Each structure stands twice: as C-alpha cells, then as structure tokens.
Amino acid sequence: MTQDELLRELYDATLVGNGPAVLDLVNSGLAAGMGPETLLYESLIPSLEEVGARFERGDFFVPEMLIAGKAMAGALEVLRPLLAETGAASIGTVVMGTVKGDVHDIGKNLVNIMFEGAGFQVIDLGVQVAPEKFVAAITEHQPDIVGFSAFLTTTMPMFKANINALVKAGLRDQVIVMVGGAPVTQEYADAVGADGYAADASAAVARAKELLGRRRSLATA
Amino acid sequence: MHTTLASASRELVIGPDQPFCIIGERINPTGRKAFSEQLRGGDLSRIETDVAQQVAGGARVLDVNMGAPLADEAELMTRAVGLIQRLTDLPLCLDSSIIEVLEAGLAAYQGKALVNSVTAEDERLAAILPLVARHGAAVIGLPNDEEEIPEEPRRRAELARKIVEVADSHGIPAQDVLIDPLAMPVGADTSLVVRTLETIALVREELGVNMTLGASNVSFGMPQRHAIGAAFLPMAMAQGLTSAIMDARAPQVVRSVQAADLLLGNDPWGAGWIAAHRAGQAAQVVP
C-alpha cells in the first residue's frame, strides 16, 4: 500500500466509524515511517470534517457521527503522545467536557480536534462530567479555558451549576469559561455568566483565541 | 388523578382515563430561523398559521415559547398569549426558563394555564411555585437538581416526589403538577429511552400524578422521525404517560396516539377513532 492509499483507506475507515480498521491503519502508517501530523491533518481531520458536512446536509445521522468520533478518539489516543513529542508549543490549555447528565460527545470531540489542530493542548474529561470533576481538573491542570458542552435543553442548566462550583472553589477568575452545543445561544451563555460562546467548532477556536488574547493583554497591561 | 386546565371558555381534563393530551410544540422559535427573526422584530403574524395547523392536527393544548435570542421575551409572551387566546379556545402551556416571562404570560392569560417548567432546584422551586400558586395554574416539574440530571429512574422519581411535596407546601395540589420523565434522544444512546419508560412506570406507581414530556427529543438526529415518535408514544402511554409536548401536525404520530387511546380503553366505543376517520374522509371529498 502506498502512503496515499493508506491515507485514503484511513479516511474511508474513519468516515464509516470502523474503529479497529482506523487503529490498524494508524499503526501501519506509523510503522511505515509516516508522521503523526500527516495521518492527522491529511486523513483523520478531513474525514471527520466530511462526517460533519454530511451531518449538516442531512445525509448522516447522530449515531454515525458518534461512531466516527469514537474511531477518531481511538486514533488520537495513539497519536497524541507522538504529537506532543514533536514539540509544537501549545498556545494554551483547554479543559473540555460534556456536562453531567449529558452523554453527547461528537460536538465536543469536533471542537477538541479543531482546538488541537490550532495548537492548543486539550484535556478531555469526557461525558457526564460532574461540577466537582471540572473543579478538580482545573485545579490540577491550570488551563486557560474550560469548555462546557450540552446537547439538550434539559442539560443546559448544568452550565450554571458548573460555574457556581467554580465560584465556590475560588477558581472562577482564573479561567475563561466557554459554552456550546446544539441548543445553546449567545443569550443563554450570557444568562449563565459564561465568557464565551460559539455556534460551531471553527468559530469556537477563533473565539477562544480572541478571549485568550484579551485576557493576556489585560494581564500584561 | 385529574389535572384540569382551562381557557376563558373551555376546560380540559388530563388523566389516565382520558384521551391522551397532545400539547402542540410548534409555537417555539428554537430551530426556526425565520420565525425567530420575525419575533425579534415584534412580528407575531406567523403564529396564526401555527395555531390553525395544530388545532386541525388534534392538539388539545398549545405550548407557547417566545425564546428568540435578543428579543424582549416577556413582552412577546404577553402579546402572544393575547393573540392566541383570540384565535383559539384551547388552554395554553406557557414555556420559558425566565421567571419574568412566565409572570408576564400568566398575567395576560385568561383561564388556568400550564407553566413549563420548574426543576427540583431549590432556587427555581422557591421562585416559580409561588407564581404558579398565585395564578392558580398547573406546572410541569423536571426531575433535575443543582447537582445532576439523573439517568437512574429511581433518582428521577425521588426528585419528582420532591417537586410534588414542595408544590404542596406552596398550596399547589399534586393534581396540578405534571412530572416530565425526561425524554432523551435514542440516536445518542440506545439505552436512554428505556430509562424514560422505566421512570414513567415508577412515577405512576409511586406518585400517581400526570406526566408530560418532549416527545420529539426521542427521534432527534435520526431519519424517519415520525415513525420513531409513532412507536415511542404508545409505549410510553402503556407505561402511564398521559400527555406529551409533540408535533401535532404529524398525522402519523397523532394517529398512533389516537390508536393507543383506543387500545388502552380511553376511547369508549371507539367513538373518537371512528370520528377522526370520518373527518379524514370528509376532508378528501371534493365539494
């Protein structure tokens, strides 16, 4: 298999969420001397972007998004330590999680991937993340940004519960709080006292950079 | 247990021995960009069509949500309630997470409204229940608290009990509390809807109160959504669900609800089922 063929197969396997095949191809690629960035940026990310595009067009459905995201997550588990070794300096640290009571992770995973692609270090706490778990992770990792994701109007109230927990732990002023998810609006983000909101993964990265820039210029002023 | 709602001129009873209460979900700007823009500009004209379609589809109550981003939601709610009550005599379900908006809707409303909603959070209970009591309204209770939106049916039932008890302490009787057993999307996790069905059975057994839920959540992100809704609602009704906020404009879903009413013994002599059939035939006859 040529490298181009491998990238193509990896793209196709990610598209249909074939986790074992994705893992095999990633390992084969690495064994053949391909760089982790090549596998990530020339196959995995474009494939997941296509999954997102198909979902937006109504050609793909939620379970298909989730299983593709899961295949991607398996690949990232192998690639992350290697990407860290190549030593691209992190432009910031993000702690990310889907709120307690909510099991949806595809949107969050897409946001994570876009953040990682932009050079952020992402600490993903997964789904159903309780307020105390966010508090513990922020204490441990001292991130610049914490991201709360919710997919349901019934789980959005956890944004407020999380922010309340940060205030109680004395961490609220140390970290930029960003919120997002299908039903979330700027208005809702403002109402719960978040610092930032974005409607999609690429907008989230742009907003994060803007908020981070503003905070750092304030800190040095 | 019977929950009675009312408009200025008409009463509606929700209960396990009554035809299922279809609450039309359509008057809501979430996911409706054009309607959302209109509301932001203060234009309520679209509501007339929404009311007509849902009434024709079989709705018994209409949900009213004016949660358009950057709009004056309280003012819109006041105007929408006045407008809708001139268009139909169905009771209304006033839907907002903002207390001032619920207050505005209740002040404008003639009759006994359903308030959507309160959670088991102490702060929300303390803010919303006095309002519900003062207006003699009924209220939907969501079993989540400050800590969690529990997945376990047992925990949901405990929080439901808390809501019913706190409501009682505010002078709101159990028959005026509808518990929402929390419908989750089956496309996200195929074990979630089973949890909802278990919650319905538990709440019926332990509290005996009426229940309602957002039925369209169940099919979110899946193809053939109406077929999923048409399968889910009869299952939920068999467990004890007595109402749902749903798409009253989808004949496939509404017919399956009406058939389930018949099968569960809530349509004596099949009169409602047969009448709906004749109405359908009449509508097809060209005059």
Whether A151 has its CB under 8 Å from any CB of chain B: the answer is yes
* A169 and A197 part of one domain: yes
For A133-164, what is each residue's pLDDT tens digit?
999 999 999 999 999 999 766 678 899 999 99
Q: Are residues A150 and A135 in the same domain?
A: yes
The CATH number covering residue A99 comes to: 3.40.50.280
Last residue of a domain, one of A69, A88, A107: A88
| Token pair belonging to B168 | 């009682």
Query: Does the beta carbon of B149 lie under 8 angstroms from any beta carbon of chain A?
Result: yes
B173 vs A130: CA distance, rounded Å: 33
Contact B182 A154 (CB under 8 A): yes
Is pLDDT larger for residue B240 or for residue A50? B240
Q: Where is pLDDT greater, at B97 or A213?
A: A213
Same domain, yes or no, for A98 and A61? no
Same domain, yes or no, for A173 and A99?
yes
DSSP state of A129: B
Here the ipTM equals 0.78
Contact A155 B149 (CB under 8 A): yes
* CA-wise closest residue to B90 among B62, B111, B109, B49: B62
Output the domain CATH number for residue A43: 1.10.1240.10
The answer on A125 and A66 residing in a single domain is: no
Q: Are residues A31 and A103 in the same domain?
A: no
Chain A residues inside the 8 Å CB shell of B188 = 62-63, 66, 103-104, 151
Quote the number of domains for chain A: 2
Same domain, A42 and A128: no
3-state secondary structure string, A73-116?
HHHHHHHHHHHHHCCCCCCEEEEEEEECCCCCCHHHHHHHHHHH
Q: How far is residue B273's CA from residue B267's CA, in Å, rounded to a whole number?
A: 7
Instruction: With CB atoms and an 8 Å threshold, state whether B221 touches A62.
Output: yes
Domain containing B146 — which CATH number?
3.20.20.20
Residues A120 and A217 grouped into a single domain: yes
pLDDT greater at residue A218 or residue B154: B154
Region B46-67 average pLDDT: 96
Mark whether A19 and A75 lie in a shared domain.
yes
How does the average pLDDT of chain B come out, rounded? 94
The total domain count for chain B is 1
* Ranges A193-197, B46-50, B187-191: which has the least confidence: B187-191
Largest pairwise CA distance in chain B: 60
Instruction: Judge whether A104 is closer than 8 Å to chain B, CB to CB.
Output: yes
Domain membership of residue B151 as a residue range: 3-284
Q: Are residues A204 and A115 in the same domain?
A: yes
Q: Which residue segment(s) compose the domain that A101 sits in?
A: 90-221
Q: Is the pLDDT of residue B287 over 90?
A: no
User: Tens digits of per-residue pLDDT, B116-144?
Assistant: 999 999 989 999 999 999 999 999 999 98
Residue B276 contacts A where some CB pair is shorter than 8 Å? no
CA distance A45 to A111: 11
Site from A51, A67, A105, A154 to mutate, B interface, most B CB atoms within 10 angstroms: A154
